[in-house]
Structures are given as C-alpha cells and as structure tokens.
Amino acid sequence: MTAIDPADLDLGLDTFGDITRDAAGERVSDAQTIRNVVEQAVLADEVGLAFFGVGEHHRPEFAVSSPEIVLAAAAARTKDIHLGTAVTVLSSDDPVRVYERFATLDAVSNGRAEVILGRGSFIESFPLFGYDLRDYETLFEEKLDLFSQLLTESPVTWQGSLRAPLEAADVFPKTAHGLTAWVGVGGTPESVVRAARYGYGLMLAIIGGPAARFRPFVDLYHRSLDSFGRDRLPVGIHSPGHIAETDQQAWEEAYEGFESMNNTIGRERGWPAYSRGRFQHDVGPEGALYVGSPETVARKIADTVGSLGSTRFDMKFSTGTLSHDKLMTSIELYGTRVQPLVREMLAERG
C-alpha cells in the first residue's frame, strides 16, 4: 500500500450520457439525456467534486457525440469543478481541432478544462469519419505526437504519414495557463510507456478484476517517466459505480443497467450473458464495480488509491438504463458522504 495524503486526492465523475429510462420505464430522448448530463454536472460542482468527465461515442446507447459542447453548457453553470472528456477519441479526430475546442472550453470555464485522450474502445467513429481501422495504431501515435506539440502553444512544424504536414502553424485561442491533458489506458504496457514518453498524466480504465493487478502498470509508468527525464505526473483511475443508502439498495438499483449494457456490448464482442453471480463478484473486493452504500464505496476507493498510489479517482456513475433521479442521488452521496469518508480513511492509514 502507498500512503496517500488525503489533501492530494481528487474525486471525480465520468458519464457517457447513457440513454436512461424514466419512472414509467419509457426511454428518455437523446435531447433530454444531454440536458440531464448538464444538471448532473451542476450537482457535482455543488457537492464539491473535483472533476466531471463526458465520454465521446457514436452509437445508440449513448447520447453524447460532441462532449465539448455539453461541457461548455456545464461550464456556464458551474464555478469550481474541472470539466473534461472520458475520453476524446483522438485517433478519429484532428489534433488541431481538438486543441482549439479545448482551448475554447478552457476560456469559457476560466481555466477548468481537461482533456483525456484515447484510442477508443468503440470503433464506430473510424468509418464514420473516414478512417481505416488498419491504421488504428499509427493514427493514435502520430496524432498524439502532433497534439503534444500543439500543447506548447508555439508554432508547430510537423509531418506524419496519415495527415497533411504543418509548417510553422500557429493555433488559437491561446490558454492562460496551458491545458491539462491525460492519456486513457486500458492496460497495455505500450500505452503506458507512450503516455510517459509524451508527458501525459496516466488515466487507467479499470473495468474488470481487482485494481491491484494494475500496480505493475503504475510502476512501469514511473520508471518510464524517469527514463525520459520527466517529473512525476499524476495517475488516475476510471471505474464504474453507483451509490445508494444501503448495499442492497445500490445493488438492486444498479443491476438492470449493468446487465443491459454488458449484454448489448457483449452480443457484439462475443461475451457470455451477464448474470447476478458475476455482478455480485464484481461489486466485491476482487471486482471493479464500486457499487454499494457510501461506507462500502468509500472503503473500496481508499483501498484502490492506496494500492496504486493514485491521486485521482473518477467513478463512471451512469450505466445503461439507470434513471436520472437515481444518478442524482448517487452523485449527492458521492460528494457529501463518500468523499469525506475516503479522506478520513486515508488519514487514519497515514
């Protein structure tokens, strides 16, 4: 276990804008789901959370395909919370446009913008925007290299194999203090080393198995930063969860949404049907779901950040059909009860 100073730990939230159902069981519209996401961000700010992330997807289960626009709406109604993506699929986007959009969001939010860059675990954006999946690795490597140079906010001269070159190209607007940028990693050593090489924070997406098994990736990240002559950079964690007053209530509320989402994606990827048995394992100590009462979730978060030495934990609080009112309750409990409990637990452990 690694001692974590409670003052150094940030707790945040992530959502993909999952299409939910209302109290009558009816499917909520895409438009209402997006408006609900903005309300969720406002509440997250009110209860003192550090970050609110919105993922980018291009498929029917998720309403948000342009997260920066949703985040800009949230920026206008929030004061302190940092706003970013979870993730931006850089491989099927243009790094110049990504920089420009986030620099604009940074201005609108008065310096609260963050970007988490990823290759994309869903591939719909590649054919949608005219990219060849055979270039999957090269696209991300080259675009990450270009984006890294754009972050300097100086004129960039760059050349790759899959995009037109740039010659002393300057991009606008400029930010007041630079952009905070991370790379989302699902657990491959090459991705960890890449994040260190380009000088990005490491955001580990832990959606299966015990968090402790990712410790070798954290150690590899730190060794890689040292080998590249870089200062220590933050390690964050993204994992799914849901909070209610009791464990049993949280499990009952969350199961249908997890079952729906896992079976929908599983049919495409050849996964076995989701079951209660698997769910109960996943919410236990050896699983990656942070579902339960405030005390249960706080204990699991404290264990996770201690085992990995991370200073940021983002709970992916929306999954499948879980309704907006239950999501709002989960956010409130996360900020008002889980957050102080985690800090108390970490302080007690020294």
pLDDT, one tens digit per residue, over 227-245 is 999 999 999 999 999 999 9
Our measurement of the distance from residue 131's CA atom to the centroid of its chain's CA atoms, rounded to an integer in Å, reads 24
Q: Can you name the residues that pair with 312 across neighbouring β-strands?
A: 10, 236
Query: Which residue, 97, 102, 73, is CA-closest to 85?
Result: 102
Q: How many CA atoms lie within 13 A of 183 on its CB side?
A: 28
Asked if residue 259 is part of any domain, the answer here is: yes
Which residues, in sequence order, are CB contacts of 264 under 8 Å at separation 6+? 61, 320
19 within a domain of the structure (yes/no): yes
- DSSP 8-state class, residue 133: G
Q: Is residue 1 part of a domain?
A: no
Mean pLDDT value across residues 279-294: 97
* For range 273-294, the mean pLDDT: 97
Query: Torsion angle, CA of 87/319/258/49, rounded to 10 degrees?
Result: 90
- H helix or E strand, kind and range, residue 238: strand 235-243
**Is 187's pLDDT higher than 90?**
no
CA 211, 15, 317, 21: dihedral to nearest 10 degrees?
A: -140
* Residue 120 pLDDT > 90: no
| Nearest by Cα to 71 from 37, 122, 33, 119 | 37
Does position 350 have pLDDT exceeding 80, yes or no? Answer: no
Q: What is the pLDDT of residue 284?
A: 97
Residues 6+ apart with CB under 8 A from 249: 293
- The pLDDT confidence band at residue 296, using thresholds 50, 70 and 90, is very high
The one-letter code for the residue type at 203 is: M
Strands 166-169 and 156-158: antiparallel
Please say whether the beta carbons of 23 and 323 come within 8 A: yes
Secondary structure (3-state) at 52: strand
Residue 44 falls within a domain, yes or no?
yes
Closest CA to 116 of 59, 186, 167, 219: 186
Predicted pLDDT of residue 172: 98
CA distance 214 to 196: 16
Give the DSSP letter of residue 29: P
What is the domain extent for residue 255? 6-349
pLDDT number for residue 2: 81
The pTM of the full predicted model, rounded to 2 decimals, is: 0.97
Report the half-sphere exposure of 88 (CA within 13 A, side-chain side).
28
**Residue 53: what pLDDT?**
98
Query: How much is the pLDDT for 114?
Result: 98
Residue 326 corresponds to which tokens in the numbers above? 């239950």
As a whole number of angstroms, the distance between CA 48 and CA 79 comes to 10
Q: Any idea what the CATH number is for the domain that residue 141 is in?
A: 3.20.20.30
**Domain-embedded: residue 237:** yes
Number of domains in the chain: 1
pLDDT band at 68 (very low <50, low <70, confident <90, very high): very high
CA distance 230 to 252: 46
Q: Could you write out the DSSP letters of every residue in 264-303?
A: HHHHHHTPPPP-HHHHHHHTSTTSS-EEE-HHHHHHHHHH
Strand partners, 205: 238
Q: Can you give the pLDDT at residue 4? A: 85
* Residue type present at position 3: A
**Residues 6-51 pLDDT 10s:** 999 999 999 999 999 988 889 999 999 999 999 999 999 999 999 9
13 assigned to some structural domain: yes
- At residue 136, what are phi and psi to the nearest 5 degrees? -50, -50
